[in-house]
Amino acid sequence: MQAWQRFGDFIGRLFAATTPVLVALAVLFPTVFSPLKALVPAMFAVITFQGSLGNDFHTLAESFRRPRPMLIILAVSAVLMPLLAFALGSLLFGGNPNLVTGIVLEYCVPVAVISTMWISMHGGDSSLGLATLLVSTVLAPFTIPLTLRVLLGAAVEVDALGMMRSMIVQIAIPALAGTAVNHFGKGWGKSKLSPAISPATKVMLMLVILSNTTAAAPYMRNLTPQYIGVIVFIGLFASLGFVLGMAAARATHQPTDRMATMVFESGLRNISAGAVIAARYFPGEVMLPVIAGTLFQNVCAAFAGKLVERMRNEGGSGD
């Protein structure tokens, strides 16, 4: 068991270095890794389950009773980031409405399921992370069409039922199951089960990155100067969510565990949801900025995790 856990720790330490390699492999060999897509919902469910093992129903309820950090995350992710995406996207790529639409769509989708994995890896407040993830996903069928209509004038009818069904399978059921295991097991889930399955979920995260990034391969192989500009922009903008999350946590004097949660949930977006909406309702070019996010957000998360750990070691709790 100790060797297995050392393996998990080894993977965690190397995420910042290995994530760009995973992205490059997926772009170069999409046919090799695209079959993993069929496993992504199940892997998301396991990742959510493991990320929930640090909770019990008392701490989860506490996150709703004291919602200030949650409201800050939602304000950054669902309001500030879409507004900045629209303003900067229009300034830089206003001559191409499809690219602007894709940039805005990328940043009005809900918090990513894999945020629970990053939060767990870096000692974040898992109860706050889970509560915010649930609220963000429940609101998404309403906030996505509203944001697109207000900023772009685009009328989109999101498949609310389908999104809710996906949320129940990938988030709600495994989250409640993990919380129940730890709650009724009086901490056994957090102390025993979570460390036992954590290395496996880290491997799953790597497989999810490989799978999701394969969708970017066709666009990466047919680049124009404007497309390169969009990809560079998304790469820089992807880091902004993490920076804003950390700035908000510092400004409101959050302890380090909540700061970690605010960093990851302000920066990580459910790109799969954005890709589905782009494919269903918009011209193909809209997909490029959305999929470009897969190239960068986990790389940014890996470096953000290193910064969180450094601040924790230096005692920078924000208290």
> Domain for residue 38, yes or no?
yes
pLDDT of residue 67: 93
> Domain for residue 316, yes or no?
no
pLDDT of residue 232: 94
Least confident of 104-118, 137-151, 268-282: 268-282
Dist. CA 1–CA 182, nearest whole Å: 20
Judged against a pLDDT cut of 50, whether residue 264 lies above it is answered with: yes
pLDDT of residue 319: 47
Three-class SS state of 269:
strand
> Domain for residue 319, yes or no?
no
Tokens of 272: 């799969």
Dist. CA 273–CA 289, nearest whole Å: 13
Mean predicted confidence (pLDDT) in 63-75 = 94
Tokens of 6: 């050392």
- Mean pLDDT, the chain, rounded, equals 87
> Domain for residue 318, yes or no?
no
Number of domains in the chain: 1
**Among 19-23, 151-155, 176-180, which range has the highest average pLDDT?**
176-180
**Among 10-19, 81-90, 147-156, 295-304, which range has the highest average pLDDT?**
81-90
Percent of the chain with pLDDT over 70: 96
pLDDT of residue 273: 79
More confident residue, 133 or 284: 133
Mean predicted confidence (pLDDT) in 239-244 = 95
Structural domain span for residue 64: 2-309
Domain of 163: which CATH number?
1.20.1530.20
pTM of the model: 0.81
pLDDT of residue 155: 61
> Domain for residue 14, yes or no?
yes
Judged against a pLDDT cut of 50, whether residue 116 lies above it is answered with: yes
**How many beta carbons lie within 10 A of that of residue 14, not counting itself?**
14
> Domain for residue 80, yes or no?
yes
Query: Please, which contacts does 147-156 make with residues 24 or more away whose CB atoms are closer than 8 Å?
Result: 147/78, 147/82, 147/104, 147/108, 148/101, 148/104, 148/105, 148/108, 151/82, 151/83, 151/86, 151/104, 152/86, 152/97, 152/100, 152/101, 152/104, 154/101, 154/282, 156/277, 156/281
> Domain for residue 314, yes or no?
no
pLDDT of residue 151: 92
> Domain for residue 305, yes or no?
yes
